[in-house]
Chains A and B, each alone.
Chain A
Amino acid sequence: MLSFFWFTGLLISLAILCCLYRAIVGPGIFNRVAALNVIGTKTIILLVVMGYFFERPEFFDIALLYAMLNFIGTLVASKYLEKGQLWS
């Protein structure tokens, strides 16, 4: 079962590499913001896999915090790109 966790983490890291290409190359700012959102979601899965791989359940709290920070960051970035300012 431990080797299966390793395999899952490897495949998710491969998906993160695919998204990183879009975040670096992607034309325009919106492609980059979308790719960063996708990378954050895959990081949540990777943190839970690491929590079961090392048998440390503290990683789930970090995953929850990371989910909230990723959501707020994407919302703030899209609002700034839409209106040009944050406080209006």
Chain B
Amino acid sequence: MVIVDRIVILIVLAGTFVTLAGAIGLLRFPDFYTRLHATGKCDTLGTGLILTGFMVFHFVHYSSTPLVPIKVLILIIFVFIANPTATHAIVKAAYRTGVRPWHLGEKRR
């Protein structure tokens, strides 16, 4: 029981680290495209790791209700499909309306 708790804490801390790295990337990168490069991947991986940790926690501690983590699994699958699609849609809209990529030496925007 204690070992499983430690594994859950490790997985959730890894996911939280990835999520915070994505947020700092959204805050610090110089351009729109580079910001979406940071967040589009870090959000997907962070959400997947944290929800996987909670699924393992539910299977160990609340084993009398084994159908509830199926909802969390559906949530993971939906986020893994939907989040890259949304990022692609925003980037396509920005590219077709003429947002220019940032080059080295230009001003941050």
A interface residues (Cβ-Cβ under 8 A, vs B): 1, 4, 8, 11-12, 14-16, 18-19, 21-22, 27-28, 30-31, 33-35, 37-38, 41-42, 44-45, 48-49, 52, 57, 60-61, 63-64, 67-68, 70-71, 74-75, 78-79, 81-82
Flag if B19 contacts A12 (CB, 8 Å).
yes
User: Would you list which residues of chain B between 50 and 98 have a CB under 8 Å from chain A?
Assistant: 50-51, 54, 57-58, 65, 68, 71-72, 74-75, 78-79, 82-83, 85-87, 89-90, 92-94, 96-97
Q: B32-51 toward A: CB 8 Å interface, digit per residue (1/0)?
A: 10011001000100110011
Quote the shortest CB–CB distance from A26 to chain B (angstroms). Answer: 9
Flag if B26 contacts A22 (CB, 8 Å).
yes
Question: Which residue among A61, A63, A78 has the maximum number of chain B CB atoms within 10 Å of its CB?
Answer: A78
Quote the shortest CB–CB distance from A76 to chain B (angstroms). Answer: 10
Q: CA separation between A34 and B23, bound complex, in Å? A: 12
Quote the shortest CB–CB distance from B107 to chain A (angstroms). Answer: 11
Contacts of B22 in A (CB 8 A): 15, 38
Question: Which residue among B32, B78, B94, B99 has the maximum number of chain A CB atoms within 10 Å of its CB?
Answer: B94
Q: CA separation between A1 and B54, bound complex, in Å? A: 11
Flag if A30 contacts B109 (CB, 8 Å).
no
Q: CA separation between A75 and B84, bound complex, in Å? A: 11
| Partner of B47 from A21, A41, A74, A81 at Cβ < 8 Å | A41
